[in-house]
Amino acid sequence: MSDVADFPYFALSEDHRELQAVLRELCTEKIAPHAAEVDETGEFPRASYEALRASDFHAPHIPEEYGGVGADALATCLVIEEVARACASSSLIPAVNKLGTLPLVLGGGEELKKKYLTPVAAGEAMFSYGLSEREAGSDTASMRTRAVRDGDDWILNGQKSWITNAGESRFYTVLAVTDPDGRRGRNIGAFVVEAGDPGFGWGAKERKLGIKGSPTRELHLDNVRLPGDRLVGKPDEGLQLALRTLDHTRVTIGAQAVGIAQGALDHAVAYVKERKQFGKHLAEFQGLQFMLADMAMAVESARQMVYAAAARSERDDADLGFFGAAAKCYASDVAMRVTVDAVQLLGGAGYVSDHPVERMMRDAKITQIYEGTNQIQRLVMARALLK
């Protein structure tokens, strides 16, 4: 843990503020108008994807040498936060593109990076991440998917569960056991699987509480033969790459949670300023003012924690594991609490889909679960403190 004097910068630069303003306008005009329909139909937010691609916000983290804009970690969080403020499902486009590609960025060879990062940066493909399985969620090291070497190739068999944007993405980072007799956690490799690979497919879309516009499916691998150059790094370092990836991308889930919470707070404030009861606007009642103050205080605290973690992510600080877990855990708990309070402030109106806060409440819940449940985040933090 760093000394207080070493606490990192996280103030927004002028460039960051300009980016935020551009994003706010884009999301208001091109993404928010489709959010309710996306939630109702469960269809992938195609209009959002096109708007993000046209503005180079679909995968802003990809370095310039591969055709990306090379956004820093804080700028990437700003993208995800602003999109989530309008539509949580749409915010998973840049978030999952980062999740899927980051193992390559962290541990892939140059040819692998050029081959797969370039089309994602160009908006020609999306990239998903296959780590969890039916019986290996929090306990990732107990995965059963196998990768068997056959000459220069690898043959993969198994399944992956809860894969975000599966069926829409063209590329997938898939973790598989490469040595069943090897040391637990040091016997797993990471591989790039393409949608067209023979034997690779996905199941039906899961029916979910929220983020309905982002498809979640199982991946199925039936004797999928991959050339050796699809291995990311070494055959025994896949899980380490996966966990390093999560240290960084948990910060982006924190940003998503902040965006959802801010969207709910914005709508609640507008509603209580307009709605009248007992001859007064709801905003004039002190009890409701206190609720709004607590909501805003929590959102801003979460935002500052996410931005501080993003600064550490950019520098790849040694204590990123603690701060990434803390940002994700705290921000997602705030998102759940703030969206529930927003529904309460709107009363009966908050409980129906005419207003977006009930959608935001449903969307917020997943931020406490994916990329490691908040119980797991607390374990990560505690272990960092006690190490």
Q: Which two tokens stand for residue 382?
A: 């505690």
Catalytic residues: 371
Instruction: Give CA–CA dist 34/46, Å, rounded.
Output: 10
Q: What is the C-alpha to C-alpha distance for residues 282 and 338, in angstroms, rounded to an integer?
A: 18
Judge contact between 182 and 113, C-beta under 8 A: no
> Widest CA span of the chain, in angstroms?
80
- Count the helices and strands in the chain (H runs, E runs): 11, 10
- Count Cβ atoms within 10 A of the Cβ of residue 185 and give its class: 0-12 exposed, 13-18 middle, 19 or more buried: middle
- Enumerate the β-bridge partners of residue 176: 189
**Tokens at residue 27, please?**
């999301």
First to last CA, the chain: 10
Residue 359 tokens, joined:
């959608």
Structure tokens that stand for 312 in this block: 């550490």
Q: How far is the C-alpha of 100 from the C-alpha of 80, rounded, in Å? A: 15
DSSP 106-151: HH--HHHHHHHHHHHHTTS--EEEE--BTTBSS-GGG---EEEEET
Half-sphere exposure of 345 (CA within 13 A, CB side): 37
Strand partners, 232: 190
Return d(Cα 89, Cα 38) in angstroms, integer. 8
Helix axes 357-366, 32-41, angle to 10 degrees: 70
CA distance 101 to 6: 30
Contact status, residue 331 vs residue 254, Cβ threshold 8 Å: yes
